[in-house]
Chains A and B, each alone.
Chain A
């Protein structure tokens, strides 16, 4: 997850626009500037006869290879050249945004979760029901693809779910063993479970170790983690922020639930069970603290932490344990928040049909699994058949197994996937700011909650539904 986007997309792709601009440049710049401007083209260009696809660059080269292979196979089958371009995860959201702003969108876009809802609302995305409806995918994934189009004033499928990941908890087996504790003994109820970690920290303190904290809970207003980790707590306190129509719910029950969740998070900070600077953590911070064994456990989206050391430090890797969340504070199992990577087709594309074909082809289980294998289990499939596939269900990686188990249970799509207004609230970092208000500026949790809900409500005013 990234926050410090900014920056940009490549230059316009449409030939007309390019040549117009070059003409303008010529006029304005006079003869001296011509060679300069005309050499500014850079990559891509002239790809008008091929399907332009912007894709996310995988963490492992094998993933990109697999994507290339699938694209190649489609290209041969469809008899259409494909212009496949890879961009880093941190760049994709910004690319999407600026491509839209500049009107130079590709045919197929690998869409990071948070902007599709907005672009669907604005009527920029093509209806992809033809691709999604036949897919055999989890409920959470299907729910996430159904978005509201404010132009057409109706909901439909606007994104094609590719794969998913979820928020899990991570801890070090040996750090618990050192103080004679075992995760198997941890109670399943919310308070009891976190009490277990606090007890572990207390045991470290009793030994004079002041550097280890019970939980590394991201609370910073510059971290994307803060958004989904907070959402997990909100869900644990029974907050259902969106109704079936993706409208905001602000009943007293929700208000109280939000306040309770904020109380719980801020107390971690106030009672010293999360490092003091977790209030200002950036995306990398909880990983850093965890991998340096300064926090006993931390939540994180995707399996990037074990993935980071699997190759180089296999011993250390074996020591990491991935788990789901304990039962909700209001009782009952915690649903796993799924975060999706999906693809979208732009309404403006002249090759919509081909683009849909490509996505249908790509999401066939036999194709997508090649890509997922290339990603070495970092992403989990959305196809129910693949979730049962031995590659995942009986993975030799216990972390993958744990995550697949989470996703085979009850899953809910992140609110950000569903609502452009909520997604915008996340970009404004409403939770990081609400936490900051309560933790630093002396607001009460209820004040913090009401402030946050008010901010979210503001965002919903921008996106009238129905």
Chain B
């Protein structure tokens, strides 16, 4: 378990670390400064206050609100909750994997970098640039079985319009699709940046060894990207878990509460149903997944950047 110290080693002058504390042996300190001021603390204090009030306190508060074991007994006998857990697995599993694999493939396309491909890249970033609420509202209405534009469009090509918001499965498909639509550009950009960072001579060396086309992808590109890919997958898992909007605006959790994910069900229990503790319990029940993810991510990010 290396600590994120290595980075410091190659940057820090090995010996005299400035220790702007109350030590008397740090002569550059202007004498007029009050000696007891701990400057690092002073500079960090706004950050600490914000984090304490808005993150630490609510986290502790959340554990306290969701501490009653009965809440979890209720959850595990609640069909809607069990259904929601499954939906969450599907939403995150399909959402993250499809999104990242598509991003990886698309980044290869955009890496070609012709002028028109660069133009296309700029356009394809639109979903990311647009705030999610209007986009999702638009998608929601587009899927309306009676008047939605998608139905009209498919109808004009004589393709039957799936029962998007009526059937739970199609509802999940729609929500996952909306999620991918919104976030694919971001991950494509990440993958593209990672690809661009692969030095050209690696490819050239590989070409000499006869690696071209698909082989090149599997032998050179993918191994070089695997680190970024893994970090992205972890980060995206957490973000997808917490994606409230895609479900809320596309399916609204319906029909019959069959397309909720944990993020939306918690809010529904807490505010629509009015059972705040139960809502917190829904959120807390995801901890066994979230905590390891956070630990691994902090390690990875702290060690090697993205």
**Interface positions of A (Cβ within 8 A of B):** 3-7, 28-30, 32-33, 94, 97, 101, 211, 220-222, 275-277, 279-280, 282, 289, 292, 294, 424, 427-429, 432-433, 435-437, 439-441
Contacts and interface: CB of A to CB of B under 8 A. Distances in A.
A282 B272 CA distance: 14
Interface in B119-163: 144-147, 163
Contact of A277 (B80, B165, B271): B165
B14 interface: no
A192 B219 CA distance: 73
Nearest to A213: B146
Contacts, number: 88
Given A29-B49, A275-B146, A6 B271 contact: yes
Contacts of B251: 280
B302 interface: no
Contact of A433 (B145, B167, B257): B257
B145 A427 contact: no
A3 B163 CA distance: 24
B46 interface: yes
B272 A427 contact: yes
Given A29-B49, A30-B45, A280 B254 contact: yes
A220 B165 CA distance: 11
A437 B253 CA distance: 14
Task: Report the interface size class on chain B.
Answer: 20 to 34
A437 B258 CA distance: 10
B166 interface: yes
A433 B272 CA distance: 15
A441 B82 CA distance: 15
A279 B254 CA distance: 8
Nearest to A451: B79
A103 to B, nearest CB: 15
A28 B53 contact: yes
A220 B254 contact: yes
A424 B252 CA distance: 20
Contacts of A28: 49, 52-53
B6 to A, nearest CB: 35
Contacts of A424: 273-274
B267 interface: yes
11 contacts: A4-B272, A32-B46, A97-B274, A221-B256, A221-B257, A275-B146, A292-B147, A429-B257, A432-B256, A433-B257, A441-B258
Contacts of B276: 101
Nearest to A434: B256
Contact of B49 (A33, A97, A276, A428): A33
A424 B273 CA distance: 7
Given A275-B145, A276-B163, A277-B144, A427 B273 contact: yes
Interface in B66-104: 80
Given A28-B49, A28-B52, A97-B274, A276 B253 contact: no
Contacts of A441: 256, 258
Contacts of A29: 49, 53
A6 B253 contact: no
B274 A279 contact: no
A410 B167 CA distance: 39
Given A280-B166, A440-B255, 4 more contacts: A101-B276, A280-B255, A433-B256, A440-B167
A436 B46 contact: no
A280 B49 contact: no
Contacts of A427: 272-274
Contacts of B144: 277
In the A-B complex, list the 4 residue pairs whose CB atoms are closest, starting with the nearest.
A436-B256, A6-B271, A280-B254, A280-B255
Contacts of A220: 252, 254-255
B274 A221 contact: no
Nearest to B163: A276
B107 interface: no
Interface in B158-182: 163, 165-168, 171
A432 B53 CA distance: 39
Contacts of A439: 255-256
